Amino acid sequence: MLVSQNLVTDNVSVVEGEMAIISCRVKDNDDSVIQLLNPNRQTIYFRDMRPLKDARFQLVNFSENELRVSLSNVSLSDEGRYVCQLYTDPPQEAYADITVLIPPGNPIIEARDEVLSEGNETEMTCTAMSSKPAATIRWMKGDKELPGKPRVELTYDKMYTVTSRLTFTVSKEDDGVPVVCIVDHPAVKDFQAQKYLEVQYKPEVKIVVEFPQGLTREGENLELTCKAKGKPQPQRVSWVKVDDDVPSHAVITGADLYIENLNKSYNGTYRCMASNAVGESFDDYILYVYDSRAGEGAPRTVDHAVIGGVVAVVVFAMLCLLIVLGRYFARHKGTYFTHEAKGADDAADADTAIINAEGGHTNSDEKKEYYI
């Protein structure tokens, strides 16, 4: 027999129960006969005739260049090498390998612990049974992929069973998060199983100041609320004062602490504690009582500073104005002269001077003034 490039065919992979198509093709045919043989070399089709009494084989197409046959309801026993044969001298052959895919059963996921505590390690297993070929298994916790340890077993019927083991440590953030086992196999898609984690964790404690919103002053009241959340939910919340006793008139109602008429003897650290089956947690509030008028002087100090600044600017402006005016008058200082008694200076005696002076008053047209 001659394996010729003139006669071609293709390998086929088919899922069990589905249909396989086998095609024998001739590139250059010289009227030679084409036939198809099964793995036992029994003739399935000779040209367009079917000698084999297996109705699952049906003719799809026959021509000088192709013999195409379908095989329905494929089973594992149909797997093997099929022969396309061309009657030439010598005969030519081409081989088509049929591989039957068998999907695994539904994946089975199991957890060692149904309920977990934060910080503990747990283990899960996922099993994909009776597949061909062997499946692969991946793990996802939320949106994060985790590595598992696979083990593959070949069973007596030539099937594969795969078991993957996953070990990881849980935290409180894992509570309610799904762990997904994903099975990858050429015969199936989106094959998976999942299990939700239930993680218990100790309480988360936070003290909230309900009143006052600002400074805690003498004579005022104090109201604190302790908020605690855990799994299981804490059933007991208690208040203590670190290194001292809680004031005798303090009122504790469940998670609330109320102290009225504060004074400085109440200063200290107040602690809220909450517990559940997993553990105990606490939060602290440091109380410092200020004077009754603490914080009130700050705005007035700011007002006085502003007023002082304005006054200083005004005084400075007035001083500058006085200096400028003084310099101006100093530069324009002069002497005032008149000629009203001009004749008196040249008179021989007093009487003549008086007469001359009086005469000067009568002649106002000759009066002149000089300003220097």
Residue pLDDT, tens place only, 114-158: 999 999 999 999 999 999 999 999 999 999 999 999 999 998 888
User: 197, 224, 258 — which closes off a domain?
Assistant: 197
Q: Are residues 64 and 146 in the same domain?
A: no
Residue 361, in any domain of the structure: no
The pLDDT tens digits for 219-275 are 999 999 999 999 999 988 999 999 999 999 999 998 999 999 999 999 999 999 999
Question: Is 184 found in the same domain as 225?
Answer: no
Mean pLDDT value across the chain? 86
Whole-model pTM? 0.66
Asked whether residue 310 is assigned to any structural domain, the reply reads no
Cα dihedral: 244, 247, 252, 256 (round 10): -80
One domain for residues 15 and 97: yes
Whether pLDDT at 302 is above 80: no
Verify that 12 and 36 share a domain, yes or no: yes
Domain of 115, in residue numbers? 105-197
Higher pLDDT, residue 19 or 332: 19
Q: Provide the phi-psi class of 319: left if phi over 0, else alpha when psi is between -120 and 50, else beta.
A: alpha
Dist. CA 199–CA 282, nearest whole Å: 20
The domain boundary residue, chosen from 239, 263, 287: 287
CA distances from 361 to 338, 344, 348, 356 (A): 12, 12, 20, 9
pLDDT of residue 132: 96
Per-residue model confidence (pLDDT) at position 339:
46
**Number of folded domains that form the chain:** 3
Give domain status of residue 371, yes or no.
Answer: no
Percent of the chain with pLDDT strictly greater than 90: 69
- What is the spatial distance between Cα 273 and Cα 227, in angstroms, rounded to a whole number? 10
Q: Is 207 part of a structural domain of the chain?
A: yes
> Looking at residue 317, what is its pLDDT?
77
For residue 101, the tally of other CB atoms under 10 A from its CB is 19
Is 352 inside any structural domain?
A: no
In a domain, 311, yes or no: no
Boundary residue ending a domain (197, 219, 251): 197
Residues 97 and 116 in one domain: no
Q: 211 with 255: CB under 8 angstroms?
A: no
Domain CATH code at residue 171:
2.60.40.10
In a 3-state reduction of DSSP, which class is residue 142? coil
- Does residue 190 sit in the same domain as residue 263? no
| Residue 133, preceding peptide bond in cis (omega within 30° of 0) | yes
- Residue 164 domain-assigned (yes or no): yes
Q: How do beta strands 280-287 and 251-253 pair?
A: unpaired
Residue 290 has pLDDT above 90, yes or no: yes
- Asked if 118 and 192 sit in the same domain, the reply is yes
What residues pair up with 153 in beta bridges, in sequence order? 161
Nearest CA-CA partner of 287 in 273, 267, 272:
267
Rounded Cα gap, residues 363 and 153, in angstroms: 150
pLDDT above 70 covers a percentage of the chain that reads: 83
Lowest-confidence range among 20-34, 133-147, 273-287, 336-350? 336-350
pLDDT at 337 over 50: no
- Do 212 and 156 lie in one domain? The reply is no
Q: Quick one: 164 and 233 in the same domain?
A: no
- Whether 30 and 95 share a structural domain: yes
Per-residue model confidence (pLDDT) at position 366: 43
The DSSP H or E segment spanning 98 is strand 92-101
> If pLDDT is split at 50, 70 and 90, which confidence band does 312 have?
confident
Same domain? 186 vs 209: no
Question: What's the Cα-to-Cα distance from 224 to each of 32, 158, 228, 254, 269, rounded to whole Å?
Answer: 100, 70, 13, 11, 13
> What pLDDT, on a 0 to 100 scale, did the predictor assign at position 42?
96
The answer to whether residue 33 sits within a structural domain is yes
On whether both 93 and 153 belong to a single domain, the answer is no
Q: Is the pLDDT of residue 32 over 80?
A: yes
